[in-house]
């Protein structure tokens, strides 16, 4: 899953949300040596979400549809597709208005600016200015995100072309996401209740 899903699966604890958001930018297992306990817990939640997602059979179906063209980048692309489908169908899963949720999220992340990894500090102004969390709902927003990722990739990924696969197989990806995401919500809620 990508940024929108990770943030929205954090419950109502801002420190867990920050940790969940920065998870991809943090290396190592000694989280409590690097961060305060609730931030570390958010990073651990991020990793648990990634593990659940990567091993889920429905997600595997989505990835396999892309694998012939995009090889190991198919997982990253599916993460982006699923964030698009979450943003597009937000009201099916959450009661908050997405633009309000996004604004609160940006504000919370700014409040913790001092602990953010350098890569996040660099990215966050672009994310806020471009309102990525809301714009994921638009095909153009996902296309822009994938193109940016393709540009930063060390190898040729073709990710900038993937939006055409989303358009072509929209019904399939939508159905797969609609089965998977409630299971991920339940998993995350249970993880937060267990890991106290």
DSSP 156: -
| pTM beyond 0.85 | yes
| Helix ranges, the chain (H) | 3-8, 14-22, 31-34, 37-54, 57-70, 74-88, 98-111, 118-129, 132-135, 139-152, 162-168, 170-194
Residue 196's pLDDT is 61
Nearest-angstrom CA–CA distance, 25 and 19: 10
- pLDDT per position as a tens digit, 40-88: 999 999 999 999 999 999 999 999 999 999 998 999 999 999 999 999 9
Which residue in 116, 154, 151, 147 sits closest to 25, CA to CA? 116
pLDDT at 142: 93
Separation between Cα atoms, residue 40 and residue 179, nearest integer Å: 29
Per-residue pLDDT at 1: 72
Residue 2: phi and psi, rounded to 5, are -110, -165
158: left (phi over 0), alpha (psi -120 to 50) or beta: left
Residue 104 tokens read as: 């609160």
Q: Where are the domains of the chain?
A: 3-194
4 SS3 class: helix
Residues of the chain with pLDDT under 70: 196
> Are 23 and 42 in contact, with CB atoms under 8 Å apart?
yes
Report the sign of the C-alpha dihedral through residues 148, 116, 102, 15, in that order: positive
């Amino acid at each position: 899953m990508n940024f929108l899903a990770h943030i929205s699966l954090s419950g109502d604890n801002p420190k867990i949300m920050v940790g969940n958001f920065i998870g991809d930018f943090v290396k190592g297992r000694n989280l409590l040596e690097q961060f305060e306990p609730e931030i570390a817990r958010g990073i651990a939640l991020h990793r648990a979400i990634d593990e659940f997602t990567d091993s889920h059979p429905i997600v595997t179906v989505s990835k396999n549809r892309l694998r012939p063209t995009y090889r190991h980048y198919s997982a990253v692309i599916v993460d982006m597709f699923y964030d698009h489908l979450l943003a597009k169908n937000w009201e099916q899963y959450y009661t908050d208005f997405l633009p309000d949720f996004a604004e609160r999220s940006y504000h919370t992340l700014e409040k913790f600016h001092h602990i953010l990894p350098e890569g996040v500090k660099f990215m966050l102004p672009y994310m806020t200015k471009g309102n990525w969390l809301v714009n994921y709902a638009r095909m153009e927003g996902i296309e822009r995100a994938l193109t940016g990722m393709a540009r930063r990739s060390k190898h040729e990924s073709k990710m900038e072309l993937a939006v055409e696969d989303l358009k072509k197989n929209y019904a399939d990806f939508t159905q797969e996401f609609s089965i998977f995401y409630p299971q991920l919500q339940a998993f995350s809620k249970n993880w937060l209740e267990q890991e106290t």
